[in-house]
Structure 1
């Protein structure tokens, strides 16, 4: 069964699913700035567009484009800047 969620007044939407190896979400974000918290280790891959990310403990922002992945450990928060509509795949471990 698919689990559909919306966050930040509908500016972020995701659909949860079970992949062959890990639970995951696929989703989209419209331009804006967002802060997310993690409960599990997250592997976030940009499918289309780009995400500018400030990872936990970092002071610099880093941009991730199509096909690139970043990892955020469990029980952390991270900041995102989204300049264009962006699609992502996030796996949870």
Structure 2
């Protein structure tokens, strides 16, 4: 089953699905600044666009472009700056 999610007044939207590999979402962010919290371990891959990310316990922002991946542990929060519309794949463990 596919689930639809919308956050931040519809500026972030994603579709959730489950495969043999586990739960995932694929989504799009409008340009802007966002803070997300996690309940599970997440691996995020930028598909198009650019995300500038401040990971938990880090002081330096880092840019992620298409095909680049970052990971966030469960029960953490992280900040992102979306440069233009940016699409992503998020896989959960």
CA distance in 2, matches of 1:62, 1:77: 15
Q: How does 1:5-16 map to 2 (within 5 A)?
A: 5-16=5-16
1:1-20 C-alpha deviation (Å, 9 max, x unpaired): 11001000000000000133
Deviates most, 36-45 or 12-21: 12-21
Q: 1:51 corresponds to which residue? A: 51
Q: How does 1:51-70 map to 2 (within 5 A)?
A: 51-70=51-70
Residue 29 of structure 1: how far off its partner (Å): 0.2
Q: 2:79 corresponds to which residue? A: 79
Q: 1:19 corresponds to which residue? A: 19
More strand per residue: 1 or 2?
2
Q: TM-score, normalised by structure 2?
A: 0.98
5+ long unaligned stretches in structure 2: none
Q: TM-score, normalised by structure 1?
A: 0.98
Residue 22 of structure 1: how far off its partner (Å): 1.5
Pairs aligned (count): 93
